[in-house]
Copies of this chain bind each other. A is one copy, B any other.
Amino acid sequence: MQQLLDNIAKHVSLTPVEQERVLAFTEIQTYKPKTLLLKEGEVCINSFFVTKGILRSYNIDENGVEHVVSFACPGWWIADMYSFLSQRPGQLYIEVNEEAEVILLSKENRDTLFAEVPKMERFFRILIENSLVANQQRLIDNMSFTAEARYDKFSKKYPDLVHCLPQKQIASYIGVTPEFFSKMKARLLKK
Protein backbone atom coordinates (compact mmCIF):
# COMPACT_ATOMS: atom_id res chain seq x y z
CA MET A 1 0.00 0.00 0.00
CA GLN A 2 2.89 2.31 0.79
CA GLN A 3 4.04 1.87 -2.81
CA LEU A 4 0.82 3.40 -4.02
CA LEU A 5 1.13 6.37 -1.69
CA ASP A 6 4.75 6.89 -2.76
CA ASN A 7 3.64 6.79 -6.37
CA ILE A 8 0.97 9.40 -5.76
CA ALA A 9 3.44 11.55 -3.81
CA LYS A 10 5.52 11.90 -6.97
CA HIS A 11 2.84 14.14 -8.46
CA VAL A 12 0.69 15.54 -5.63
CA SER A 13 1.16 15.73 -1.85
CA LEU A 14 -1.67 14.31 0.21
CA THR A 15 -2.39 14.99 3.87
CA PRO A 16 -2.58 11.93 6.13
CA VAL A 17 -6.37 12.25 6.11
CA GLU A 18 -6.43 12.26 2.32
CA GLN A 19 -4.13 9.25 2.25
CA GLU A 20 -6.62 7.47 4.47
CA ARG A 21 -9.38 8.21 2.00
CA VAL A 22 -7.36 6.78 -0.86
CA LEU A 23 -6.67 3.57 1.02
CA ALA A 24 -10.31 3.29 2.01
CA PHE A 25 -11.26 3.11 -1.65
CA THR A 26 -8.69 0.55 -2.74
CA GLU A 27 -8.22 -3.15 -2.23
CA ILE A 28 -5.20 -5.41 -2.49
CA GLN A 29 -5.05 -8.75 -4.33
CA THR A 30 -2.52 -11.34 -5.40
CA TYR A 31 -2.75 -13.44 -8.55
CA LYS A 32 -1.04 -16.48 -10.03
CA PRO A 33 0.61 -16.32 -13.45
CA LYS A 34 -1.79 -16.69 -16.40
CA THR A 35 -4.75 -15.38 -14.42
CA LEU A 36 -7.01 -13.33 -16.66
CA LEU A 37 -8.09 -10.17 -14.85
CA LEU A 38 -10.14 -9.05 -17.84
CA LYS A 39 -11.46 -10.68 -21.02
CA GLU A 40 -12.68 -9.25 -24.30
CA GLY A 41 -16.36 -8.35 -24.05
CA GLU A 42 -16.25 -7.71 -20.32
CA VAL A 43 -16.57 -4.34 -18.62
CA CYS A 44 -13.33 -3.20 -17.03
CA ILE A 45 -14.58 -2.41 -13.54
CA ASN A 46 -11.17 -1.93 -11.93
CA SER A 47 -7.92 -0.28 -12.78
CA PHE A 48 -4.87 -2.05 -11.41
CA PHE A 49 -1.81 -0.61 -9.73
CA VAL A 50 0.97 -3.19 -9.78
CA THR A 51 3.06 -3.62 -6.64
CA LYS A 52 4.71 -6.94 -7.54
CA GLY A 53 5.05 -9.02 -10.70
CA ILE A 54 4.15 -8.15 -14.28
CA LEU A 55 0.81 -7.82 -16.09
CA ARG A 56 0.07 -7.18 -19.72
CA SER A 57 -2.89 -6.09 -21.81
CA TYR A 58 -3.56 -7.27 -25.34
CA ASN A 59 -6.27 -7.68 -27.91
CA ILE A 60 -6.88 -10.58 -30.27
CA ASP A 61 -7.64 -9.62 -33.86
CA GLU A 62 -9.96 -11.22 -36.44
CA ASN A 63 -7.27 -13.74 -37.36
CA GLY A 64 -6.69 -14.79 -33.77
CA VAL A 65 -3.41 -12.89 -33.55
CA GLU A 66 -2.53 -11.34 -30.20
CA HIS A 67 -1.32 -7.74 -30.06
CA VAL A 68 0.26 -6.55 -26.82
CA VAL A 69 -0.99 -3.08 -25.95
CA SER A 70 1.00 -2.58 -22.76
CA PHE A 71 3.03 -4.16 -20.01
CA ALA A 72 2.76 -3.13 -16.37
CA CYS A 73 5.58 -3.57 -13.85
CA PRO A 74 5.58 -2.52 -10.19
CA GLY A 75 4.71 1.15 -9.98
CA TRP A 76 2.57 1.09 -13.15
CA TRP A 77 -1.17 1.26 -13.67
CA ILE A 78 -3.01 -0.89 -16.16
CA ALA A 79 -6.61 -1.06 -17.41
CA ASP A 80 -8.67 -1.18 -20.59
CA MET A 81 -9.07 2.57 -20.60
CA TYR A 82 -11.90 2.59 -23.11
CA SER A 83 -13.93 0.12 -21.13
CA PHE A 84 -12.94 1.49 -17.73
CA LEU A 85 -13.93 5.05 -18.58
CA SER A 86 -17.11 4.24 -20.50
CA GLN A 87 -18.03 1.20 -18.38
CA ARG A 88 -18.92 -0.59 -21.60
CA PRO A 89 -17.60 -3.94 -22.86
CA GLY A 90 -14.05 -3.63 -24.12
CA GLN A 91 -11.79 -5.52 -26.47
CA LEU A 92 -8.76 -6.04 -24.25
CA TYR A 93 -7.51 -8.92 -22.18
CA ILE A 94 -5.47 -8.25 -19.06
CA GLU A 95 -3.33 -11.16 -18.00
CA VAL A 96 -0.87 -11.87 -15.21
CA ASN A 97 2.57 -12.55 -16.65
CA GLU A 98 4.41 -13.19 -13.40
CA GLU A 99 3.04 -13.89 -9.91
CA ALA A 100 1.56 -10.51 -9.07
CA GLU A 101 0.29 -8.30 -6.29
CA VAL A 102 -1.95 -5.46 -7.38
CA ILE A 103 -4.06 -2.72 -5.87
CA LEU A 104 -7.56 -2.38 -7.27
CA LEU A 105 -9.40 0.89 -7.78
CA SER A 106 -12.88 0.63 -9.26
CA LYS A 107 -14.34 3.24 -11.60
CA GLU A 108 -17.03 3.99 -9.06
CA ASN A 109 -14.54 4.49 -6.24
CA ARG A 110 -12.31 6.54 -8.47
CA ASP A 111 -15.12 8.96 -9.24
CA THR A 112 -16.10 9.26 -5.59
CA LEU A 113 -12.47 9.80 -4.71
CA PHE A 114 -12.23 12.61 -7.28
CA ALA A 115 -15.09 14.38 -5.55
CA GLU A 116 -13.71 13.87 -2.05
CA VAL A 117 -10.03 14.41 -2.79
CA PRO A 118 -9.60 16.77 -5.75
CA LYS A 119 -5.86 16.23 -5.64
CA MET A 120 -6.49 12.70 -6.82
CA GLU A 121 -8.18 14.05 -9.91
CA ARG A 122 -5.03 16.07 -10.54
CA PHE A 123 -2.93 12.98 -9.95
CA PHE A 124 -4.84 10.97 -12.52
CA ARG A 125 -4.93 13.88 -14.93
CA ILE A 126 -1.13 13.94 -14.89
CA LEU A 127 -0.92 10.16 -15.20
CA ILE A 128 -3.20 10.15 -18.21
CA GLU A 129 -1.28 13.00 -19.80
CA ASN A 130 1.94 11.03 -19.51
CA SER A 131 0.20 7.99 -20.85
CA LEU A 132 -1.08 9.91 -23.85
CA VAL A 133 2.36 11.27 -24.63
CA ALA A 134 3.93 7.81 -24.43
CA ASN A 135 1.19 6.37 -26.58
CA GLN A 136 1.52 9.07 -29.22
CA GLN A 137 5.26 8.50 -29.31
CA ARG A 138 4.70 4.80 -29.89
CA LEU A 139 2.34 5.60 -32.76
CA ILE A 140 4.93 7.89 -34.35
CA ASP A 141 7.65 5.28 -33.84
CA ASN A 142 5.55 2.58 -35.46
CA MET A 143 5.05 4.77 -38.52
CA SER A 144 8.60 6.10 -38.73
CA PHE A 145 10.92 3.25 -37.81
CA THR A 146 11.76 -0.28 -38.94
CA ALA A 147 11.13 -3.22 -36.63
CA GLU A 148 14.82 -3.28 -35.81
CA ALA A 149 14.86 0.34 -34.67
CA ARG A 150 11.67 -0.21 -32.68
CA TYR A 151 13.25 -3.17 -30.89
CA ASP A 152 16.33 -1.10 -30.18
CA LYS A 153 14.22 1.68 -28.67
CA PHE A 154 12.25 -0.84 -26.64
CA SER A 155 15.32 -2.49 -25.13
CA LYS A 156 16.79 0.87 -24.19
CA LYS A 157 13.57 2.10 -22.66
CA TYR A 158 12.77 -1.09 -20.75
CA PRO A 159 16.12 -2.89 -20.29
CA ASP A 160 14.73 -5.05 -17.46
CA LEU A 161 11.65 -6.17 -19.34
CA VAL A 162 13.70 -7.48 -22.25
CA HIS A 163 15.12 -10.18 -20.00
CA CYS A 164 12.00 -11.32 -18.24
CA LEU A 165 9.40 -11.34 -21.03
CA PRO A 166 8.86 -14.17 -23.49
CA GLN A 167 10.16 -13.08 -26.89
CA LYS A 168 6.82 -13.56 -28.54
CA GLN A 169 5.37 -10.87 -26.29
CA ILE A 170 8.12 -8.42 -27.14
CA ALA A 171 7.64 -9.27 -30.80
CA SER A 172 3.94 -8.59 -30.47
CA TYR A 173 4.52 -5.30 -28.66
CA ILE A 174 6.84 -3.95 -31.34
CA GLY A 175 4.48 -5.25 -34.01
CA VAL A 176 6.14 -8.23 -35.70
CA THR A 177 5.65 -12.00 -35.75
CA PRO A 178 7.71 -14.20 -33.40
CA GLU A 179 9.36 -15.80 -36.44
CA PHE A 180 10.49 -12.49 -37.87
CA PHE A 181 11.60 -11.35 -34.43
CA SER A 182 13.74 -14.42 -34.08
CA LYS A 183 15.31 -13.86 -37.50
CA MET A 184 15.93 -10.22 -36.67
CA LYS A 185 17.63 -11.05 -33.39
CA ALA A 186 19.94 -13.55 -35.10
CA ARG A 187 20.82 -10.86 -37.65
CA LEU A 188 21.60 -8.37 -34.87
CA LEU A 189 23.92 -10.85 -33.14
CA LYS A 190 26.09 -11.14 -36.23
CA LYS A 191 26.91 -7.43 -36.03
In chain B, what residue has the closest Cβ to A90?
B133
Q: Which secondary structure characterizes the binding site on chain A?
A: helix
Whether, in the assembled complex, A28 has its beta carbon less than 8 Å from a beta carbon of chain B, the answer is: no
**Identical subunits present:** 2
Taking a contact as CB atoms under 8 Å apart, the answer to whether B143 and A67 are in contact is: yes
Distance A69 CA – B130 CA, assembled complex (angstroms): 17
In chain B, what residue has the closest Cβ to A137?
B82
Whether, in the assembled complex, A128 has its beta carbon less than 8 Å from a beta carbon of chain B, the answer is: yes
Query: Which of these binds chain B: A16-24, A58-66, A155-163?
Result: A58-66
**What is the 8 Å Cβ interface bit string for chain A, positions 121-135, against chain B (1 contact, 0 not)?**
110110011111101
Distance A128 CA – B133 CA, assembled complex (angstroms): 10
Taking a contact as CB atoms under 8 Å apart, the answer to whether A144 and B175 are in contact is: no
Whether, in the assembled complex, A33 has its beta carbon less than 8 Å from a beta carbon of chain B, the answer is: no
What B residues does A144 contact at CB under 8 A?
59, 61-62, 65, 67
Question: Which positions 138-190 of chain A face chain B at CB distance < 8 Å?
Answer: 138-140, 142-145, 175
CB distance from A124 to the nearest CB of B (A): 7
Interface centre among A67, A85, A133 (most CB of B within 10 A): A133
What B residues does A129 contact at CB under 8 A?
81, 85, 128
12 further interface pairs, Cβ-Cβ under 8 Å (given A62-B144, A85-B133): A61-B145, A67-B143, A67-B144, A69-B140, A81-B133, A81-B136, A82-B137, A85-B129, A124-B125, A131-B132, A132-B135, A142-B143
